[in-house]
Structures are given as structure tokens and as C-alpha cells.
């Protein structure tokens, strides 16, 4: 009685080719998922960091305008404007750092 070997060389080669294709597809899928997660992370970080910074910058501009146009004592106006401008400069620097961080990812 003759036995047939269905796992001969051609069958093994076909199986290996199929397994390799499946592995490649899985890797491609995983890379796509990583890319989507990275883009989602970047969008979240961007929103969460930029929104407060922009709000504070806008409010400081308003404070500077109010103090400059109303009539509190000159010393108060000068000191408040000086501090507000320092804060504004630091926030712009922080925003620049965030831009650099986000552009590098």
C-alpha cells in the first residue's frame, strides 16, 4: 500500500509563502496603527498645550491694553505692563518650544 506525503517540498514552500505574506500583512497593519496613534497623540498634545498658551497670551494683551489706557497710577501701570510683557515673552518662548517638539515627531 502506497502512502502519499502531502507535506512534500512544494506543499511546505506554499505554506511558508502564505505564512510570510500573513506576517508581512500583520506588520503593515501594526505600522499603520502606530502611525494613527502617533498622529492622534500629536493632535491631542497640540490642542492641550496650544489652547491655554494662546488664551493666556490673548488675556495678557488685553491686560496691557487696559492698564495702558485707563488711569491708575503711573507706577502701577508701568510695573503691571513690565510683568505682563515678561509673561507674554515667556509664553511665546514656550509656544515656540511646543512647535519644535511637535514638528520633530
Residue 1 binned pLDDT confidence (cut-offs 50, 70, 90): very low
Angle (nearest 5°) at CA 16 between 10 and 18? 105
Is the pLDDT confidence value at 40 over 60?
A: yes
Residue 91 to residue 89: CA distance in whole angstroms: 5
Residues 60/91, Cβ–Cβ less than 8 Å: yes
Kindly report which listed range (3-7, 10-14, 81-85) carries the lowest average pLDDT score: 3-7
Q: How far is CA 18 from the centre of its chain?
A: 38
Residue 62 binned pLDDT confidence (cut-offs 50, 70, 90): confident
Closest CA to 65 of 49, 92, 88: 88
Residue 37 has which C-alpha cell?
496613534
pLDDT for position 10: 58
pLDDT for position 43: 84
pLDDT for position 51: 79
Residue 77 to residue 3: CA distance in whole angstroms: 100
- Across residues 52-74, what is the average pLDDT? 78
Amino acid at each position: 500500500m502506497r502512502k502519499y506525503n502531502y507535506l512534500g517540498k512544494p506543499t511546505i514552500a506554499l505554506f511558508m509563502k502564505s505564512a510570510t505574506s500573513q506576517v508581512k500583512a500583520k506588520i503593515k497593519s501594526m505600522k499603520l496603527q502606530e502611525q494613527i496613534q502617533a498622529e492622534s497623540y500629536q493632535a491631542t498634545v497640540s490642542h492641550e498645550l496650544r489652547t491655554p498658551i494662546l488664551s493666556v497670551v490673548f488675556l495678557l494683551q488685553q491686560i496691557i491694553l487696559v492698564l495702558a489706557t485707563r488711569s491708575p497710577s503711573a507706577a502701577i501701570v508701568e510695573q503691571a505692563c513690565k510683568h505682563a510683557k515678561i509673561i507674554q515673552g515667556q509664553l511665546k518662548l514656550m509656544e515656540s518650544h511646543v512647535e519644535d517638539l511637535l514638528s520633530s515627531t
